[in-house]
Homo-oligomer: A and B are copies of this chain.
Amino acid sequence: MYKLIHQDHGARRGEFHTPHGVIQTPVFQNVGTAAAIKGAVSTGDLKELGCQVQLSNTYHLHLRPGDKLIKELGGLHRFMNWDRPILTDSGGFQVFSLASLRKITEEGVRFQSHIDGQRIFMGPEESMQIQSNLGSTIAMAFDECVENPAPYDYVKRSCERTYRWLCRCKEEMKRLNSLPDTINKQQMLFGINQGGIFDDLRVWHMKEIAKLDLPGYAIGGLAVGESHEEMYHILDMVLPHAPENKPRYLMGVGTPSNIIEAVARGVDFFDCVMPSRNARHAFIFTRHGTMNLLNQKYERDMQPIDPECGCEACRNYSRAYIRHLFKAKEMLAMRLSVIHNLYFFNELMERIRQAIMEDRFEQFRRDNVEKLAKRL
Contact = CB atoms under 8 A, between A and B. Distances in A.
Interface string A21-40: 00000000000001111111
Interface stretch (A86-94, A100-108, A193-201, A319-327): A319-327
A289 B209 CA distance: 57
A324 B74 contact: no
A64 interface: yes
A340 interface: no
Interface of A: 34-44, 60, 64-65, 69, 72-74, 78-81, 299-300, 302, 312, 316-318, 320-321, 324-325, 327-328, 330-332, 334-336
A81 B73 CA distance: 40
A331 B81 contact: no
Contacts of A328: 34-36, 60, 64-65
A316 B327 CA distance: 32
Given A42-B332, A74-B302, A335-B331, A36 B79 contact: no
Nearest to A323: B65
B72 A300 contact: yes
B335 A302 contact: no
A40 B334 contact: yes
A320 B320 CA distance: 37
B79 A325 contact: no
Contact of A335 (B34, B324, B335): B335
B331 A35 contact: no
Nearest to A302: B73
A331 B41 CA distance: 8
A300 B65 CA distance: 10
A67 to B, nearest CB: 12
B331 A44 contact: no
Contact of A40 (B80, B316, B332): B332
Contacts of A332: 36-37, 40-42
Contacts of A39: 40, 331
A38 B79 contact: no
Given A65-B299, A300-B73, A324-B35, A43 B81 contact: no
B40 A331 contact: yes
B299 A69 contact: yes
Contact of A312 (B44, B79, B330, B336): B44
Contacts of A317: 42, 80-81
